[in-house]
Amino acid sequence: MKLKGADILINCILEQGVDTVFGYPGGAVLDIYDALYRSGRINHVLTAHEQGAAHAADGYARVTGKTGVCFATSGPGATNLVTGIATAYMDSVPMVAITGNVGLNFLGRDSFQEIDICGVTIPITKHNFIVKDVNELADAVRQAFLIAGSGRKGPVLVDILKNVQTDECEYSPEKPLAFTRHNPDPESIAKAAEAINRAERPVIIAGGGVIAADASEELSKLSRKIGSPVTYTLMGKGCMPEKDCLGMVGMHGTSAAAKAVLEADAIIALGTRFSDRVALNREKFAYGKKVIHIDIDSAEIDKNITSSVHVVADLKSALEALLPLVEKRQRSEWLEKAYSRPGHAAKTGLGQRVIAAASRLAPAGSPLITDVGQHQMWAAQHYEVNSPRLFCTSGGLGTMGYGLGAAIGAAIGTGKTGVLVTGDGCFGMNMNELMTAASKSVPLVILLMNNRVLGMVRQWQKIFYSRRFSETTLERNVDYIKLAESLGAKGIAIEDEKDIEGVLNYAFKTAAEEKIPVLVDCRISSDENVLPMIKPNSTYDTQLEDMEN
C-alpha cells in the first residue's frame, strides 16, 4: 500500500513494539505529529524540554530493556537532544532519536531552524541516518532499531527531511530484524576457565554489561560455583541482591570491595570498561593479578587495564559457555574473609539516613533514579537495589539534570512509583520537567538533598583546593515546597531525623494514591561528605574513611 513518509515512520516504530514516545513538536515534524495523532496507537509524553524527552526515553529503556524513543524538531529542538543522546551513548542505553529537518530544496542553505544534526551527533551515536528519499525511510528506521538494540547497545539518530514526511511510496509491514547473538570463541572461553580454576582468591567485578545482557542469573551461578565474592560498578548496581555482594567498587566504593580487590589474585571483570572511577591508578590497579575480562565490545579490551585473558562476546552467552568449564570450589576461607567486612558505608548524615530509610519504605519494584553528585554516591551506597533494571543513573557522562526526565521515563516504563534522589544543583537544571510529571500523573517521590551548595564539587575544593569555595555556594533562596505546588506537585520538608519516617510514609502513600509527584525537601548540612573516598589516580590501599568538614 502507498503511504506518506510520516505514516511509514509511525508504522515502522509500531512494528518494533514501541508503545511510548517522549518528545516535543515543531515545524519540521508537524507531519510526523499529525500521523501520530491519526494513528492513536502510541502514548506520546509531551515533555517541557527536548533534553527531558531524551532523558525520559533513556530511563524508559533502562528499566524495560526496550529501545527508548524520542522525537524533536529541527535546529534547536534537535540540538536540545544532544546531552541526552550523549548520556545514553556513554552508558550503552538503546535509544532511537527521531528528528525532522528542512526540505531537500532548503538543505545546506542556512534555512530557518536548519542544523546538521547528523554531523553534530557522529561522536555520540552508534550510527545516524539522514533520510532524503522516502523510499529509504522504512529501511533506515528498521536498521536504526537493529543497531540500537544489538551488540553493545546505544543511541541511533534518524533525521528525516520535511519532504520525505509528505512524499509517498509503497509500504509493506515487516517483522523486526533479528539480533545476531555474538557467541564466544571456544578457545577464549577455555583459557578464561583455566585462569579462573587456577585462582585462589578471585573477585568478580560486575558492570552494566551484566544488566544489559540480562545475565544476572548466570553471574549468580558463576559466583556460587567458583566461590568468588562479587562487587559491582555504579552501572552494575542491581545485578545481584545486595546481601550477596560486597557493595560498590571504586572511588566511593565500600571498604569491603576495596580490600577484596587489593587481596585478590584474579579479577573477573564482566561487562565493565575499567573507567577511571573504578581503576583509578591504571598502572597499579591490577598489578600482580590475573585479569579475566569479558565484554561484548572489543574496543574495551586492554583499553584501560591490560587483560591476561579476554573474551569478546555477548555476556550471557559467554557465561553460559564458561559455567560448565569452571571447577566447583568452596574457597570458604577467602569468602569468609571478604564478606566479614562491612558491605555498606556508615550512615553519617541526615541525607544518607533519608536515602537508607527510603530504600526500606519504598513500594516493591520502585525504580531508583539519581542525578549526579554526592547524593548519587549516597544512593549507590545506602539504597538497596536487589533486582536488575531498577537503577538509573548517568554513570559515564555524569549528567546533572538527568534525573527528573529519567524518573518520568522509568516510572512510566515500570508502572511503579519512581524514587528520584537529586540535589538542589541538579534539580535546578531541569526542574521544569516537574510540570510534565504532574500533568501526566506520574507518581514520583523526589528526595531533594537541599544543602545549598554544589556538594561534590565543594567536597573536592575542600580536599584539593584548600577550601577555596569558588562559585559552589547556591545563593538562591528557593522555597521548593511552594515551587512544587506551583507546578502541580506536592511538597513537604525533612529538617530533623525524627521527621524521616513520617514524611517518607506520607510521600510514598500520596504519590501512589494520587498519582502525583511529591517533592521532599531534605534540608541537610553543606558539610555532609561522601565517604569512603579514594583520591583520583590513587590506589585502593589509600581509601579515606574520614575527613574534616
Check the CA dihedral 42-46-50-51 and report its sign.
negative
Q: Where are the beta strands (DSSP E) in 382-513?
A: 391-392, 418-423, 444-450, 490-494
Catalytic residue among 15, 106, 113, 191: 113
- Angle, vertex CA 93, rays to CA 87 and CA 98, nearest 5: 80
Give which of 269, 266, 268 is closest to 198, Cα–Cα. Answer: 266
Q: Quick check: 501 and 509 in contact, CB under 8 A?
A: no
Catalytic-residue membership of 456: yes
DSSP state of 235: G
Please name which of 18, 21, 56, 44 lies closest in space to residue 444, comparing C-alpha atoms: 56
| Distance, CA of 21 to CA of 70 (rounded, Å) | 6
Cell of 364: 516493591
Of 152, 137, 142, nearest in space to 31 by CA? 137
Among candidate residues 4, 162, 237, 416, the one labeled active-site is: 162
How many other C-beta atoms lie within 10 A of the C-beta of residue 428? 14
Q: How many CB atoms lie within 10 A of CB 302?
A: 13
Show the cell assigned to 206.
560486575
Q: Which three cell numbers stand for residue 418?
A: 519512581
162 is catalytic: yes
Tell me how crowded residue 190 is: count the other CB atoms within 10 A of its CB. 16
N residues, the chain: 549
For residue 438, give the amino acid letter.
Answer: A
148 touches 137 (CB < 8 A): no
- Strands 68-72 vs 266-270: parallel, antiparallel or unpaired: unpaired
Respond yes or no: is residue 16 known to be catalytic.
no
Q: For 352, list phi and psi in degrees, rounded to 5.
A: -65, -35
The grid cell for 79 is 540540538
How far is Cα 156 from Cα 148, in angstroms, rounded to an integer? 6
Q: Is 160 helix (H, G, I), strand (E, B) or coil?
A: strand
Told to judge if 113 belongs to the known catalytic residues of this protein, a careful annotator would answer yes
How many angstroms separate the CA atoms of 226 and 192, rounded?
A: 13
- Cα separation, 508 vs 519, in Å, equals 10
- Residue 449 annotated as catalytic: no
Q: What pairs with residue 78 in β-bridges?
A: none
Q: Which of 235, 251, 449, 456 is catalytic?
A: 456
Q: Any idea what DSSP says for residue 80? A: T
Q: Which residues contact 273 (CB under 8 A, 6 or more apart)?
A: 207, 295, 300, 303, 304
Alpha-carbon separation of residue 114 from 27, 256, 476 (angstroms): 11, 53, 36
| Alpha carbon separation from 367 to 59, 92, 146 (Å, rounded) | 10, 19, 26
Give catalytic residue positions: 50, 112-113, 162, 456
